[in-house]
Amino acid sequence: MKGFVVVTGGTKGIGRALVQRFASENYEIITCARNQNDLDSLKAEIEGNSNTTIHIRVADLSKKSEVQTFSEYVLSITNKIKVLINNTGVFVPGSIMDEPDGNLELMMNTNLYSAYYLTKSLLPSMIAQKEGHIFSISSVAGIRAYSNGGSYSITKHAMQGFTKCLREEMKEKGIRVTAVLPGATLTASWEGVDLPESRFMKAEDVAAAVWSAYALSDSTVVEEIVLRPQLGDI
């Protein structure tokens, strides 16, 4: 195996595509999700179709205690993490004026704090080895406001701030940091929308872009990857 890759929220959408891509490149995977059956299905698929191992753990990363438990699980397996991909996220549409109380807290906990606390927990081991790559899977909502984006867009703008700060702090420590900002991608977040598949990007394309950025030499970092459907934002 080439090393360990940590992907949060690895059972669906972009997370699943990332797990599949790095597994196909012979990396050992550590991932989490909230549903055990989904994790078991992913493990059977990956280990049945590749020569790698996937380590799975049930965790709800909107809860700080479970972020800590997952980080302890990761470090019980390895302290040689090649890639950390903060992918866990939730999207609840709504405007700031009209969305229910609790939307901001839910999405801040899931979309930002999960990445913040997991990264803080795993960084010491990555800094010690003086190499590694951290990806923040954000959204174009992190660089553009949408009328029905509400708290989601707020949290993704915050994720951009986190990633930019981390990039500056890690420059001299040998760790690359990349923000990934996809537009509308065909995932469960868009279920029920009456639009053709051609209006969406494929999750596999986002994973391919992440892999391409990682595959560069250690002397080069792609700081931001912005991807949009060919026909534009939805």
pLDDT value at residue 146: 85
Structural contact between residues 38 and 228, judged by C-beta atoms closer than 8 angstroms: no
Q: How far is CA 68 from the centre of its chain?
A: 17
At a CB cut-off of 8 Å and minimum separation 6, what does 153 contact?
141, 142, 144, 145, 146
Q: What is the pTM of this model?
A: 0.95
Structural contact between residues 165 and 120, judged by C-beta atoms closer than 8 angstroms: no
Structural contact between residues 231 and 198, judged by C-beta atoms closer than 8 angstroms: yes
Q: 10-51 pLDDT, tens per residue?
A: 999 999 999 999 999 999 999 999 999 999 999 999 999 989
Question: Judging by beta carbons within 10 Å of its beta carbon (0-12, 13-18, 19+), is residue 142 exposed, middle or buried?
Answer: buried
pLDDT of 199 strictly over 80 = yes
Rounded to whole angstroms, the Cα distance separating 33 from 21 reads: 18
Residue of 105, 104, 108, 88 lying closest to 96 (CA atoms): 104
More confidently predicted of 148 and 78: 78
| Every domain of the chain and the residues it spans | 4-227
CATH fold for the domain made of 4-227: Rossmann fold (3.40.50)
Q: 142-176 pLDDT, tens per residue?
A: 999 888 889 999 999 999 999 999 999 999 999 99
pLDDT value at residue 196: 83
Structural contact between residues 210 and 180, judged by C-beta atoms closer than 8 angstroms: yes
* pLDDT confidence tier of residue 192, bands split at 50, 70 and 90: low
Type of residue numbered 99: E
Tokens of 159: 């994720």
Structural contact between residues 151 and 96, judged by C-beta atoms closer than 8 angstroms: yes
Rounded to whole angstroms, the Cα distance separating 109 from 115 reads: 9
Residue of 102, 75, 108 lying closest to 89 (CA atoms): 108
